[in-house]
């Protein structure tokens, strides 16, 4: 039996079928997590802000020092469901209110109010200066207001208008949403909120595990797959039509949990299995093995259940990795060391 989820990546390469059966047994009906997980994490005004599953916010300065409770108190927002950043602001959404803060230490102010939706708000994404609410069935502009129904997915294997959302990313003109349908692959969907036009691309063999951008006119997407004895990943660059402008070779036995482009050092970072890596021409180069819990408990899981919720470049050669449980970890890629937030960085 597996002793911990951290054992999964190395064993996947050597004994993939046995590991996946073991994951199923360990994470079946009898397992229940007592810990409060992390839902989202963002970098905002020299701080890292983390939203827990119970709606509570915690925060740290860029070096990992926790913000004390008194300073955090004005930041708490009843019913908070998700957070995001964009146009220099921190956004928080509840079931009926979207709020914003424009600097650290500021107070929440209402951006928009709206009727409670039949679905849970999954993300807030800021396209240009326009905050959008992402639901499983539609994207809503709460300020205008206006709604954009999710289109029917293309491809022969999956036909749905319901997002099984794995990643979201906003550029100045487009909202990009990545979906995953397990062994049936996934979609990259793009919405232009100015015109209301949707575009999409389908991969029947991989699903989206991360979206980032080094250029406003395109996005970089990690496409990965883990199913029984198979694991693979590849990087594509997609233009405004969602079609790939450039595709790098598929990497067997690699699995990217997420990617992020750092404008501080013009480097593409990824979490590959349980390593932080840099990616050049689609290929990873290992920087540091991470000891935090990178895989989450998932009832009835047969494949890998990724647990990285955010990869945040915060300075040159500094990347914060936030998992679904535990505190964020600051990785110094030059010094090749990782320090959990709340501990000394010396």
DSSP string computed for 128-197: TTEEEEE-SSEEEETTTTEEEEPPPPPSSS---SS--EEEEEE-SS-EEEEE--GGG-EEEEEEETTTTE
pLDDT at 68: 93
Cβ(151)–Cβ(163) under 8 Å? Answer: no
| Consecutive 10-residue averages of pLDDT for the chain (346 residues) | 35 38 31 66 97 96 92 94 96 98 95 96 96 98 97 92 96 96 93 98 95 96 85 95 97 93 97 93 94 64 69 97 92 95 64
- The tokens for 146 are 């206006």
pLDDT at 18: 32
Closest CA to 308 of 297, 290, 320, 294: 294
Phi then psi for residue 52, to 5 deg, are: -85, 165
pLDDT at 209: 94
């Amino acid at each position: 039996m597996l002793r911990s989820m951290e054992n999964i990546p190395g064993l996947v390469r050597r004994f993939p079928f046995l590991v996946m059966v073991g994951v199923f047994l360990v994470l079946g009906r009898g397992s229940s997590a007592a810990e409060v997980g992390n839902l989202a994490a963002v970098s905002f005004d020299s701080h890292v802000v983390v939203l827990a599953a119970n709606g509570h916010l915690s925060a740290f300065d860029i070096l990992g020092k926790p913000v004390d409770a008194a300073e955090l108190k004005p930041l708490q927002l009843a019913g908070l469901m998700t957070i995001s950043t964009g146009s220099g602001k921190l956004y928080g959404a509840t079931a009926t209110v979207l709020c914003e803060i424009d600097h650290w230490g500021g107070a929440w102010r209402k951006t928009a109010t709206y009727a409670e939706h039949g679905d849970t708000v999954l993300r807030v994404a800021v396209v240009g200066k326009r905050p959008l609410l992402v639901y499983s069935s539609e994207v809503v502009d709460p300020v205008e207001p206006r709604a954009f129904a999710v289109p029917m997915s293309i491809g022969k294997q999956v036909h749905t208008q319901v997002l099984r959302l794995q990643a979201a990313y906003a550029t100045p003109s487009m909202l990009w949403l990545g979906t995953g349908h397990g062994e049936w692959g996934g979609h990259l969907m793009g919405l232009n909120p100015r015109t209301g036009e949707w575009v999409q691309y389908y991969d029947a063999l991989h699903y989206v595990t991360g979206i980032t951008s080094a250029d406003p006119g395109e996005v970089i997407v990690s496409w990965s797959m883990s199913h029984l004895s198979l694991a693979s990943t590849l990087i594509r660059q997609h233009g405004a039509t969602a079609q790939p402008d450039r595709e790098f070779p598929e990497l067997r036995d690699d699995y990217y949990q997420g990617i992020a482009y750092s404008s501080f050092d013009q480097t593409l970072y990824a979490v590959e299995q349980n390593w932080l890596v840099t990616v050049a021409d689609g290929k990873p180069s290992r920087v540091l093995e991470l000891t935090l819990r990178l895989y989450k408990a998932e009832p009835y899981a047969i494949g890998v259940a990724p647990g990285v919720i955010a990869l945040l470049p915060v300075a040159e050669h500094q990347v914060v990795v936030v998992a679904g449980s535990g505190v964020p970890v600051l990785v110094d890629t030059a010094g090749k060391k990782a320090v959990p937030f709340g501990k000394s960085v010396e």
